[in-house]
Amino acid sequence: MDHPPLLHVHKGNISLVVTRDPEEIRKAQSLRYRIFFEEIAGVTPTSHENLDCDEYDELCDHVIVYDQNTVIGTYRFLRPEYMKTVGKYYTQSEFDLDKLLGKYSGNVVEVGRSCIDPAYRTGSIIKLLWGGITLYLETFNIDLMFGCASFPGDDPSQHAHCLSYLHHFHRINDTLCPTPLEHVKASFELTPKDNLDEKQSFSSLPPLIKGYLRLGGKVGTGAVIDSHVNTTDVCIIVDKKDISQRYLDHLMASIKE
């Protein structure tokens, strides 16, 4: 391997690395294509070379989870010093982040392109992935992470109940609040707060968004349509100071057990 991993954790047959190695990133891109295009968007593969890749991949730190030699999960982080190469974050193609980036004084990182192989969507693997994220935040002294998180499909009315729940119960304060860009803004009718069942609404959320909320995550205003992969996206923000120390310890323990 030409690029030694930034972080490396072993748990039996399962290992987690944070890497910038092109060969490993290519394996993650293959998994991403299978999940984002074949599973979510319903695209029929045309060759074994199908990859989900963009101009940001070579600039990012990639969290990759292996079962022996098979990639089963991945995430990527974009730090500000590398973002400067392209001039904006991926999230800024969907949301206006001027308030967040202009007024937040701590160290930030963009997180995204998260996916897990369907056969490994278990509590232990998800917890390991979140443990790796926590270790990354600690290692690189990150105070806040943000990014896009998705609901399947490009019809936001199908998710109006969940989107309304996020708006009423988990929206970040207006001082930092991201807003959808007009050309991709999703249109849906907010359900009144009094008509929502908090417990039921939370249980209906996609697992990734549940994970962010358990960390103390907040959302920006509204949602956008990502027609590229057929999803409805919200902007997620997690400030490390909002993560309880008990939960941080719990996640860190998951990669040390």
Cβ 186 vs Cβ 232: under 8 Å: yes
Phi-psi region for residue 100, left (φ > 0), alpha (ψ -120 to 50) or beta? Answer: alpha
pLDDT recorded at residue 1 = 44
Closest CA to 66 of 21, 133, 127, 128: 128
Cβ 112 vs Cβ 32: under 8 Å: no
**Who has greater pLDDT, 110 or 38?**
110
Interacting residues of 102 by C-beta distance below 8 A, sequence separation 6+ = none
Tell whether domain 7-254 is in CATH 3.40.50.1220: no
What is the domain partition of the chain in residue ranges?
A: 7-254
- 134: tokens are 């926590």
**Is pLDDT at 239 greater than 60 in this prediction?**
yes
Q: Is 219 helix (H, G, I), strand (E, B) or coil?
A: strand
**Is pLDDT at 10 greater than 90 in this prediction?**
no
Give tens-digit pLDDT for 108-167. 999 999 889 989 888 788 888 888 888 899 889 999 999 999 998 889 999 999 999 999
Q: Is 64 helix (H, G, I), strand (E, B) or coil?
A: strand
* pTM score: 0.90
**Average of pLDDT values for 88-114?**
95
